[in-house]
Chains A and B, each alone.
Chain A
Amino acid sequence: MSVVSRKEYIGVPRDRVENFNGNQLVYVGWDNHLLFASAFLLFVSPETVFRDMVQNNVIPLIGADPDAEKIDWDSVTWLKGNQPWTPNWDETLAANGIGHKMLLRFKTPSLNSICG
Chain B
Amino acid sequence: MDTPVNKKKLSLKEKYSYLTRDLAWEPSYQKKEDLFPYATYEGIKVHDWEKWEDPFRLTMDAYWKYQAEKERKFYAIIDAFAQNNGHLKITDARYLSALKIFLQAISPGEYAAHKGFARAGREFPGVGPQVACQMQAIDEIRHAQTQIHAMSNYNKFYSGFHAFADQRDRIWYTSVARSFFDDAMSAGPFEFMIAIGFSFEYVLTNLLFVPFMSGAAYNGDMSTVTFGFSAQSDEARHMTLGLECIKFMLEQDPANVEIVQKWIDKWFWRGFRVLGLVSTMMDYMLPKRVMSWREAWDIYGEENGGALFNDLARYGIRPPKGWKDAGEAVDHMSHQFMLALYQWNFGTAFHSWIPSDEDMDWLSKKYPDTFDKYYRPRWEHIKKMDEAGTPFNNFGLAKLCQTCQLPTVFSEPGDPSSLCHRETEYKGETYQFCSDHCCDIFKEEPEKFIQAWLPMPALFQAPLNGDLEAWMEWACLENGSDNGDFKGSHDQVSFQKWREMTTSN
Residues of A within 8 A of B (CB): 1-6, 9-16, 19-21, 23, 25, 27, 29, 31-32, 34-43, 61, 64, 66, 81-82, 99-103, 105, 114-116
Cβ contacts under 8 Å, A82 to chain B: 421-423
Q: Is the CB of A19 within 8 A of B445?
A: no
A39-B408 contact in complex given A6-B38, A34-B378, A100-B430, C-beta closer than 8 Å: yes
Contact across chains for A105 and B462 when beta carbons are under 8 A apart: no
Residues of B within 8 A of A81 (CB): 423, 430
Interface bin, chain B: 35 or more
Residues of B contacting A43 with CB < 8 Å? 460, 466
B407 — which chain A residues lie within 8 A by C-beta?
37-38
Interface residues in B446-483 by Cβ distance below 8 A to A read 446-448, 450-454, 456-458, 460-462, 465-466
**Which A residues lie within 8 Å of B38 (CB)?**
6
Contact present for A38 and B409 (CB under 8 Å): yes
Q: Tell me the complex Cα distance, A43–B462, Å.
A: 14
Cα(A62)–Cα(B284), bound, Å: 26
Residues of B within 8 A of A29 (CB): 399, 419, 421
The 26 sampled A-B contact pairs (Cβ below 8 Å) are A2-B445, A3-B446, A3-B447, A4-B42, A4-B187, A11-B448, A11-B450, A11-B451, A12-B450, A13-B451, A15-B429, A15-B454, A15-B461, A20-B460, A27-B399, A29-B421, A34-B339, A37-B340, A37-B409, A38-B407, A39-B408, A41-B397, A43-B466, A101-B431, A102-B423, A115-B417
Q: Which residue of A lies closest to B416 (CB)?
A: A34
Cα distance A35–B342 in the bound complex, in angstroms: 11
A20 contacts across to B, CB distance below 8 A: 460-461
**Contact with A38, one of B191, B399, B430 (Cβ below 8 angstroms):** B399
- Mark contacts of B317-339 with chain A using CB atoms, 8 A cut-off: 1 yes-contact digit, 0 otherwise: 00000000000000000001001
Q: B residues 369-411 with Cβ under 8 Å of A?
A: 374, 377-378, 381-382, 385, 392, 394-400, 407-409, 411
B29 neighbours in A (Cβ, 8 Å): none
Contact status A14-B450, CB under 8 Å: yes
By the criterion CB–CB under 8 Å, are A115 and B429 in contact?
Answer: no
| Bound Cα distance A11, B452 (Å) | 10
Quick one: given A29-B419, A37-B340, A101-B429, are A10 and B397 in contact (CB under 8 Å)?
no
Q: B399 near A39 (CB under 8 angstroms)?
A: yes
Q: Is the CB of A64 within 8 A of B392?
A: yes
Residue of A nearest to B451 (CB): A11
Number of A-B contacts (CB under 8 A): 148
Q: Are A14 and B453 in contact (CB under 8 A)?
A: yes
List A contacts of B397 (CB < 8 A): 40-41
Contact A19-B462, Cβ < 8 Å, known A38-B409, A41-B397, A103-B423:
yes
Beyond A14-B450, A115-B417, is A3–B445 a contact (Cβ under 8 Å)? yes
Inter-subunit contact B429/A16 (CB<8 Å) = yes
- Chain A nearest CB: distance from B250 CB in Å? 19
Residue of B nearest to A30 (CB): B419
Given contacts A21-B462, A32-B418, A102-B430, contact A37 B398 (CB under 8 A): yes
Smallest Cβ-Cβ distance to B382: which chain A residue: A35
Contacting residues, chain A, for B461 (C-beta < 8 A): 15, 19-20
Residues in A whose Cβ lies below 8 Å from that of B254: none
Q: Are A41 and B399 in contact (CB under 8 A)?
A: yes
CB distance from B413 to the nearest CB of A (A): 15
CB distance from A56 to the nearest CB of B (A): 13
Distance between B100 CB and nearest chain A CB, rounded to angstroms: 20
Whether B316 is near chain A, meaning CB under 8 Å from some CB there, is no
> Contacts of A102 on B, CB cut-off 8 Å?
423, 430
CB distance from A25 to the nearest CB of B (A): 6
Contact A36 B37 (CB under 8 A): no
User: Which residues of chain A are within 8 angstroms of B422 by Cβ–Cβ distance?
Assistant: 82
- In angstroms, Cα B382 to Cα A42, docked, is 23
| Distance (whole angstroms) from the CB of B277 to the closest CB of chain A | 15
Provide the residues of chain B in CB contact with A31, threshold 8 Å. Answer: 418-419
Expressed in whole angstroms, the minimum distance between the Cβ of A88 and any Cβ of chain B is 20
Which 7 pairs of residues, A with B, have the shortest CB-CB distance?
A40-B396, A37-B340, A3-B447, A61-B396, A38-B398, A39-B399, A13-B450
Complex CA–CA separation, A40 to B399 (angstroms): 6
Residue of A nearest to B396 (CB): A40
**Contact in complex: B456, A41 (CB < 8 Å):** yes
Residue B355 is within 8 A (CB to CB) of chain A in the complex = no
Instruction: Name the residue in B37, B340, B419 with the highest tally of chain A Cβ atoms < 10 Å from its Cβ.
Output: B419
Contact check, B457 vs A15: say whether CB atoms are below 8 A apart. yes
Give, as a whole number of angstroms, the nearest-CB distance from B121 to chain A: 19
Q: Once the chains bind, are A14 and B452 in contact (CB under 8 Å)?
A: yes
Q: Which residue of B lies closest to A42 (CB)?
A: B396
Is the CB of B188 closer than 8 A to any CB of chain A? yes
Bound-state CA distance A40–B448 (Å) is 26
A58 shortest CB reach to chain B, Å = 8
Which of chain B's residues have a CB closer than 8 A to the CB of A114?
Answer: 377-378, 381
Q: Tell me if B206 counts as interface (CB < 8 A to partner A).
A: no
- Convert B424-458 into 0s and 1s, putting 1 for each residue whose CB lies closer than 8 angstroms to a CB of A: 00010111100000000000011110111110111
